[in-house]
Amino acid sequence: MPLAREAHDRLEFKNIVLKTGDHDITKGDAREKKPEPGGTFYNVWARGVVRDEIQKGGWRLAALLEDALQ
């Protein structure tokens, strides 16, 4: 959840249109906010997050397989 919150905070949402009588979004724009001085752009940040999460998933899968095969 902290990663989802940070991703949401890095974006700016405009022109959001909700389906009448519902909470479903039918259209809208999500744009990257300008990074703060010394900050990173969304795509650079997201690339690092994805790389780290895939690596964690690989280690978890390896541990699971090791336990299953013993």
β-sheet bridge partners, residue 11 = 32
Question: How many C-beta atoms surround the C-beta of residue 27 within 10 A?
Answer: 9
Q: Provide the residue type at 62 as one letter.
A: A
Q: What is the pLDDT of residue 3?
A: 93
Task: From first to last of the 70 residues of the chain, give the pLDDT tens digit.
Answer: 899 999 999 999 999 998 888 888 899 999 999 998 999 999 999 999 999 999 999 999 999 999 999 9
Contacts 24+ apart (CB under 8 A), 43-48: 45/6, 45/10, 46/7
Q: What is the pLDDT of residue 24?
A: 87
Angle (nearest 5°) at CA 6 between 4 and 7: 65
Burial call 57-69: b when 16+ CB within 10 Å, e when fewer = eeeeeeeeeeeee
How many domains does the chain contain in total? 1
Q: What is the pLDDT of residue 31?
A: 92
Give the domain extent around 33: 2-68
